[in-house]
Chains A and B, each alone.
Chain A
Amino acid sequence: MSPFFLSGRVWIGSGGPVQACIVLGAELCYKNIMEKQAKAGTEPAYSFRELQEMIAAYLGPDNVPGRFKVITDTTDFFRVDYNDVVLLENVPYLMRNYTREGRFGLDDEPKYWVRKAIDLKKSKPMIIKLVFHEEIDARVGGMVFKCVRSPRKEAAILELAAGHKNFMQGRAVADKAGNIVRVLDFIQGKRLDELVHRQAASHEQYFYEQLPGYLAVYAEMTEAIQFLHDHGQKHGDIRRDHILQDRNTGDYRWIDFDYDYHHPASMFGYDLFGLGNILIFLVGGGDITVQRLQADEPALLEKITPADMNIIFRNRVANIQKVYPYVPDALNYVLLHFSNGANLYYENTRQLLMDLADVRIKR
């Protein structure tokens, strides 16, 4: 262990000594990955023919590519083509298509560093996340702060959340060049926002019949984020399309935790902001925007004031009780913490969960 991380740094927070261990744990995790890679490098690799046989076992003999590259250094991920084989710790992965961005406004933007793949040893579909060191100036509500993609952060969380039903599962392995590649279980299932969107005939029907179930899911997912925070980690990019329902188990899982940011005033505030947006979306059964009210219920729009809007997204209503009066006070009280009129904000997930526990939805 590097003495650099033991030179009197302290961690202060609700988790106490546990968190200190986790800060060190990220480095241990990295060291373990590199040691495994070094060991794997000494084992014999597969011959071209063996790889072809493994591909044939999965795709069928007629679909075996005649030519493909065997890649052990993924630094230049644009070199990794469809049908290439990436060898990680001596496990061959057949590369398939890249995935696409689900973010609003960036829909279908290709993510060239995130690839569908086949584990040829187990004949199992996986997701391979190659290393992409991206630095972004995130712009939220007029603020600008630096965000980075950190493969090491995601690796540390994968290790921390191994076996946790509310997180994507997988492991981090180093390629020959030391890139921290994440090998993830492929989750078959839909995004939370796709499940919620307009399933019922009316909002009222959705509210009474489906929302209680989604609120239970929401509380469970918030507890999962609390688990990260208690261990000195953050998700970093909480969005409704970063929750998938695993069709095989029925569990909801957080995905994509490689984003990281640094702000001295609060490590977890941005996660709380994301959780608030998801809750507003769930209670509204979708985004209740000024444009939507103008089109569907212009009379309601006259009742809405600037204080009722989402503090960051000024075209979305946060005070949903004004639109749907059957939203109970206890639930609307939680929503108002994320409104422009709020004077009090949640500082941690515990405060949010405590208020949510008081919410009852009854006809």
Chain B
Amino acid sequence: MAIDHTKCDITGMVERHIMIAVDSSDNSRRAVLFVGDFFGCYEGFRVTLLHVILEPEATYFRTGDERQQWLAAQLEEAGRVMEEYRHILVDAGFTEERITVRIEPMQAPSVADCIIREQEEMKCCTIVIGRRGISKKEEFIFGSTSSRIIHEAKKCAVLVIE
């Protein structure tokens, strides 16, 4: 019997769809390089590059203009790195139609909440994320995005790239 490489039977997801959750850090770049290296030469994989821009509450800014400037700067920076990440995947063998680039401004208690929700909606079988290597103190006060995803993501595999 022929194997359908577009489906992932282990996680029960409908297709082999990898979400790479990124920002503009070096660890995110490493996560993209990893996916390119490991999956770029195989057919049947689809990749979504997701860049969540976690917006502060409206009251964090003095004015609406200040908020819009902040958001515009974030979107510009995200657009720049996402183009670079897309090129990495194309160079590694992914065809253009198998790559989706999403830059999403969101409001939530944490980036991890956003990533988990997007995974549930898109039904990706794998989340790939770079680890920032934060200090114990920072993890204590603000938590670790990769740890939260490892513990809370359901029905998917999680790859954390050092």
A27 touches B58 (CB 8 A): yes
The size of the chain B interface, using a CB distance under 8 A, is: 36
Q: Are B142 and A11 in contact (CB under 8 A)?
A: no
Of B11-19, B80-88, B131-139, the stretch lying at the interface with chain A is B131-139
Whether, in the assembled complex, A52 has its beta carbon less than 8 Å from a beta carbon of chain B, the answer is no
**B38 contacts A by Cβ under 8 Å:** no
CA of A260 to CA of B144, assembled, Å: 20
Q: Which among B52, B59, B141, B145 is the interface contact of A156 at CB below 8 angstroms?
A: B59
A106 within 8 A of B: no
Is B75 part of the contact surface with A, judged by Cβ < 8 Å?
no
List of A residues within 8 angstroms of B60 by Cβ: 148, 150, 153, 260, 262
Q: Is A44 an interface residue (CB 8 A)?
A: no
Q: Which of B58, B60, B111 has the most CB of A within 10 A?
A: B58
> 1/0 per residue A97-138: CB within 8 Å of B?
000000000000000000000000000000000000100000
When distances are taken between beta carbons in the complex, the residues of chain B under 8 Å from A264 are 52, 54, 110-111, 145
CA distance A25 to B11 in the complex (A): 40
Complex CA distance for A266 and B112, rounded to whole angstroms: 8
Nearest CB of chain B from residue A150's CB, rounded to whole Å: 5
Contact B141 A140 (CB under 8 A): yes
With both chains docked as a complex, state the minimum distance between the C-beta of A270 and any C-beta of chain B, in angstroms. Answer: 6
Instruction: Give the total number of A-B pairs whose CB atoms are below 8 A apart.
Output: 114
| CB closest chain-B residue, reference A25 | B58
User: Judging by beta carbons under 8 Å apart, are A23 and B140 in contact?
Assistant: no
Contact, CB under 8 Å: A11 / B107: yes
Nearest Cβ on chain B to A102's Cβ, whole angstroms:
23
A262 to B144, CA, bound (A): 15
Q: Could you say which of B59, B113, B141 contacts A150, with CB atoms under 8 Å apart? A: B59
**Shortest distance between the CB of B98 and any CB in chain A (Å):** 26
Complex interface: stretch among A1-9, A60-68, A241-249, A322-330: A1-9
**From B136, which residue of chain A is reached at the shortest CB distance?**
A311
B122 interface residue (CB < 8 Å to A):
no
Q: B135 contacts which of A133, A142, A229, A232 (Cβ < 8 Å)?
A: A142
